[in-house]
A = this chain, B = another copy of it.
Amino acid sequence: MLATIMYKAGDVRVESIPDACIQQSTDALIRIIRACICGSDLWPYRLKQPDGTGQNMGHEAIGRVEAVGKSVRKIKVGDVVIMPFAYSDGTCDFCNEGLHTACTQGGFFGNAEVGGAQAEALRVPQADGTLYALPVAEDDALMPSLLTLSDVMGTGHHAAVVARVGKGKKAAVIGDGAVGLCGVIAAKRLGAEQIIILGRHPDRIELAKQFGATNVVNERGDEAIARVRELTDGFGVHSVLECVGTEQAMATSMGIVRAGGMVGRVGVPHYDQIPQAQPMFYSNVLVGGGPAPVRAYIDELLPDVLEGRIQPGLVFDRTIGLEDVPDGYRAMDTREAIKVMVRP
């Protein structure tokens, strides 16, 4: 079958690899209906050092179940399913607490052991816990929005939940990538009265406004901090959704958060320490976040997608076939596309 393999920065290929198959009794085998390229895939696309092996790419998908292992009880052959970016058994203490990304039997897609979703098919461990069967057919018009529940919409929602966005609160979203845009949707959905988007790409900013952003801050660094404070009576925002992952984005977060406020970070961190531990202390600021337990959020978000109240699928502005995945990486890397959907 065909699958996407990353060899080193800038070198991503679609290649023939052995067919995915059931290995464990708890596995399912899915045929990929829709996959996509993630902002986090751009980190290895920019930085990966060659190490003689390739990395299987892709961790977001909707699929059709083709086979299940003999212990699988809930998921059936033929189901159209959302595949969250992490697999989880759905039964451990962490899953029961809603933190599926800390599942004791869990892990992530997109590596040699588990394979990637930018492919024709994929083995899904812990199928009963991981997969979410949808009540729609595989050609449904809502596919793009449903696909975002495998990662970016759930991740934007996680940033908003961790940052305690609520009715009447002021929120800022750092980053205008697909996750940041979904963060705007999430903040609006949770009742924020002011949503400031920090970003500078005109097409993305337009979409952010459509999703509910009330203010746009194009500046960066200290200028961005000053501008957000100006927009919030000098006090800053209750909730910061940090959707980038750089040290500068964290420093900006600390500069714009209100005393007693919360920074929810979902950008994969490319820094080792959280800056400004003392100002953060004196203003009782909280910092949290991490890989979103998107599996836990589907129950809450799915009705809003199915009934059209939110349209996160609008973050996809390009659809390609599997053979064009390398060009999809290029288009996202150069900001030609916000997010690229793949139809194998």
Chain A residues engaging chain B, CB cutoff 8 angstroms:
94, 97, 99, 101-102, 162, 250, 259-260, 262, 265, 268-269, 271-278, 280-291, 293
Enumerate 8 A-B pairs (CB-CB under 8 Å) in ascending A order. Answer: A94-B260, A99-B259, A102-B284, A273-B273, A274-B287, A283-B290, A286-B286, A288-B288
Is A277 a contact partner of B285 (Cβ separation < 8 A)? Answer: no
Is A288 a contact partner of B287 (Cβ separation < 8 A)? Answer: yes
A175 to chain B, nearest CB (A): 15
Is A99 a contact partner of B291 (Cβ separation < 8 A)? Answer: no
Of A265, A275, A286, the most chain B CB neighbours within 10 A belong to: A286
Given A94-B259, A102-B259: A278 and B286 within 8 A (CB)?
A: no
Is A275 a contact partner of B278 (Cβ separation < 8 A)? Answer: no
Q: Which residues of B contact A280 (CB under 8 A)?
A: 274, 290
A191 to chain B, nearest CB (A): 17
Is B273 a contact partner of A277 (Cβ separation < 8 A)? Answer: yes
Is A277 a contact partner of B288 (Cβ separation < 8 A)? Answer: no
Question: In the docked arrangement, what's the CA distance between A285 and B290, Å?
Answer: 8
Closest B residue by C-beta to A245 = B281
Q: Which residues of B contact A273 (CB under 8 A)?
A: 273-277
Closest B residue by C-beta to A282 = B290
Of A101, A268, A284, the most chain B CB neighbours within 10 A belong to: A284
Question: In the docked arrangement, what's the CA distance between A18 and B273, Å?
Answer: 47
Q: Which residues of B contact A290 (CB under 8 A)?
A: 280-285
Question: In the docked arrangement, what's the CA distance between A268 and B262, Å?
Answer: 19
A253 to chain B, nearest CB (A): 12
**B260, B277, B282, B291: which contacts A274 (Cβ < 8 A)?**
B277
Q: Which residues of B contact A282 (CB under 8 A)?
A: 290-291
Of A102, A271, A285, the most chain B CB neighbours within 10 A belong to: A102
Given A99-B260, A259-B94: A277 and B269 within 8 A (CB)?
A: yes
Question: In the docked arrangement, what's the CA distance between A250 and B287, Å?
Answer: 14
